[in-house]
Amino acid sequence: MKELELTTFSKLGLNSALLKTLDAERYTTPTPIQAQAIPSVLEGKDLLGIAQTGTGKTAAFALPILHRLAANRRPAQRQGARVLVLSPTRELASQIAQSFKTYGRQSGVSVTAMFGGAPFRRQVTAMSRGVDVLVATPGRLIDHLEQRSVVLSGTEILVLDEADQMLDMGFIRPIRQIISKISARRQTLFFSATMPREIGKLAGDMLRNPVRVSVAPVAKTADRVTQKVIHVEGQRKKSLLVELFADSAMQRALVFTRTKRGADKVARHLEAAGIKVAAIHGNKSQGQREAALGAFRSGRIRGLVATDIAARGIDIDQVTHVVNYELPNIPESYVHRIGRTARAGAEGIAISLCDNEERAFLRDIERLTRQSIPSMDRRGDSALVVDQRDHTAPAADSNGSSRRGASARPKRFQKRRKGETRGGKPKPKQRRHRVDFPAASSTAPSL
């Protein structure tokens, strides 16, 4: 098994106030886009990031920007913004602004979101003394530029987020108009999930010697994996997992937990129920991990209980089931996890146990994968019946609430978003036309 070299946020060079906040947010490990992007942004380089929502992209730019603002404190010019983030939609703009507020709460940065549909006057007032970070949609920002209620001549950092969506929405011209008002000495960070020709051209015009980082498009889940979700109360998960193992079809199961302690607890519970399993995570020695993997491969144990990080880099064929004992808070992890089954032409089953507090994570996963995961109807306490009639309705509870728990994500994501109904259930999303970006590449200098 590959020994894993894990990056931490402190190794990436972020200041201690940010590290404290990340600790409070329970962000222990940078996502790949964060590990790749943060050092270059801290150095003041331009960046071309190929990544989509769900990869931790917002923090990949927000954290180093906040670090740079704190390292060079000074007031923004009147009606100006030291940092301008352009976002295609209101929802994304307000989420990004909220992220800046969350991550920057120790450093006292001022953040304003600006988009159409919100009172113009109030935005004029919010900008009158200038702000550190302005997150805006292009249309409303142009209105302000025309009214001279916003000036961008002193802007030091420009972020263009979801550039391909900007193209789909006809925003390329307004964007070029906005850029023409910003000094060429700025630092520019450019993000897009895909790279159609026009976006490549825009990036080429906007960026100077950018560092290019990309993460593989992960939104596509393997077709041969049958996915199910079971809505269950948190305290019932352990016994439910034992019930799942009662199915003899579950020959070789990879069970995912969010934490190392969780992995140990679950493994102990299964062992106590007579099911042969082992836990693998970062606190296990190399020898222990290899022994566990060997036993799993040879079929001497039926289950391997793992954290995301421990499961990376291990290669096991013929995993019949992936069980998400806890849903991951980073949606792309879900795609990686369930990709561990249905390898080498085999069929696989992925079962996710979702409690009330994890409903927001489930919604994010469904948004990322653009599919709703059918729920398994639990009739009675022991029978697990796949309900073919209703593939979208939540089974166990309906309030959709999601309290901020130990590993929950920031509050902002618990709000209702566009495309969700009041019950918190996502509406089936219309797939936008996208030109797919070729396979992932790693950091490489310049375009």
Is residue 307 involved in binding ligand AMP (CB under 6 A)? Answer: no
**Half-sphere exposure at residue 402, Cβ-oriented, CA atoms within 13 angstroms:** 25
Task: Tell me which stretch binds ligand AMP (CB under 6 A): 57-65, 103-111, 212-220, 293-301.
Answer: 57-65
Query: What is the residue whose two structure tokens read 């990340």?
Result: 22
Task: Tell me which stretch binds ligand AMP (CB under 6 A): 28-36, 207-215, 229-237, 389-397.
Answer: 28-36
Is residue 227 involved in binding ligand AMP (CB under 6 A)? Answer: no
Extract the tokens encoding 331: 């949606």
**Half-sphere exposure at residue 25, Cβ-oriented, CA atoms within 13 angstroms:** 27
Pick from 157, 409, 414, 426: which binds ligand AMP (CB under 6 A)? 409
- Taking the C-alpha atoms of residue 143 and residue 126, their distance in angstroms, rounded to an integer, is 15
Q: List C-alpha distances in Å: 146 to 139, 151, 153, 181, 404.
A: 11, 10, 14, 11, 41
Is residue 333 involved in binding ligand AMP (CB under 6 A)? Answer: no
- Taking the C-alpha atoms of residue 420 and residue 432, their distance in angstroms, rounded to an integer, is 17
Q: Which positions ≥6 away from 146 have C-beta within 8 Å?
A: none
3-state DSSP call for residue 139? helix
- Taking the C-alpha atoms of residue 146 and residue 149, their distance in angstroms, rounded to an integer, is 8
Question: Which residues in 135-160 are b (16+ Cβ under 10 Å) and which e?
Answer: bbbbebbbebbeeebbbbebbbbbbb
Query: What is the residue whose two structure tokens read 């600790």?
Result: 23
Task: Tell me which stretch binds ligand AMP (CB under 6 A): 154-162, 303-311, 316-324, 406-414.
Answer: 406-414
- Taking the C-alpha atoms of residue 9 and residue 28, their distance in angstroms, rounded to an integer, is 8
Task: Tell me which stretch binds ligand AMP (CB under 6 A): 12-20, 23-31, 66-74, 382-390.
Answer: 23-31
Is residue 103 involved in binding ligand AMP (CB under 6 A)? Answer: no
Is residue 53 involved in binding ligand AMP (CB under 6 A)? Answer: yes
Is residue 12 involved in binding ligand AMP (CB under 6 A)? Answer: no
Widest Cα–Cα separation across the chain: 72
Is residue 410 involved in binding ligand AMP (CB under 6 A)? Answer: yes
Is residue 104 involved in binding ligand AMP (CB under 6 A)? Answer: no
Q: In terms of Cα–Cα distance, which of 342, 332, 333 is closest to 224? A: 342
- Taking the C-alpha atoms of residue 92 and residue 249, their distance in angstroms, rounded to an integer, is 43
Minimum Å gap between C-beta 4 and ligand AMP is 16
Residue with smaller CB distance to ligand AMP, 37 or 280: 37
Pick from 21, 40, 55, 87: which binds ligand AMP (CB under 6 A)? 55
Residue with smaller CB distance to ligand AMP, 53 or 341: 53
3-state DSSP call for residue 165? helix
Q: What are phi and psi of 320, to 5 degrees?
A: -80, -35
Task: Tell me which stretch binds ligand AMP (CB under 6 A): 47-55, 187-195, 278-286, 309-317.
Answer: 47-55
Is residue 149 involved in binding ligand AMP (CB under 6 A)? Answer: no
Is residue 39 involved in binding ligand AMP (CB under 6 A)? Answer: no
- Taking the C-alpha atoms of residue 152 and residue 83, their distance in angstroms, rounded to an integer, is 9
Is residue 98 involved in binding ligand AMP (CB under 6 A)? Answer: no
Minimum Å gap between C-beta 59 and ligand AMP is 5
Is residue 405 involved in binding ligand AMP (CB under 6 A)? Answer: no
Task: Tell me which stretch binds ligand AMP (CB under 6 A): 56-64, 180-188, 257-265, 277-285.
Answer: 56-64
Is residue 48 involved in binding ligand AMP (CB under 6 A)? Answer: no
Is residue 94 involved in binding ligand AMP (CB under 6 A)? Answer: no
Is residue 30 involved in binding ligand AMP (CB under 6 A)? Answer: yes
Report the amino acid identity of residue 17.
A
Is residue 31 involved in binding ligand AMP (CB under 6 A)? Answer: yes
Pick from 187, 214, 227, 329: which binds ligand AMP (CB under 6 A)? 329
- Taking the C-alpha atoms of residue 131 and residue 110, their distance in angstroms, rounded to an integer, is 5
Q: List C-alpha distances in Å: 84 to 47, 199, 249, 303.
A: 15, 19, 54, 49
Is residue 348 involved in binding ligand AMP (CB under 6 A)? Answer: no
- Taking the C-alpha atoms of residue 195 and residue 217, their distance in angstroms, rounded to an integer, is 12
Minimum Å gap between C-beta 405 and ligand AMP is 13
Residues 162-201 that bind ligand AMP (CB under 6 A): none
Is residue 372 involved in binding ligand AMP (CB under 6 A)? Answer: no
Task: Tell me which stretch binds ligand AMP (CB under 6 A): 22-30, 103-111, 157-165, 276-284.
Answer: 22-30
Is residue 59 involved in binding ligand AMP (CB under 6 A)? Answer: yes
Extract the tokens encoding 28: 């222990």
Residues lying near ligand AMP in the complex (CB under 6 A) are found at 27, 29-31, 34, 53-59, 329-330, 409-410, 413
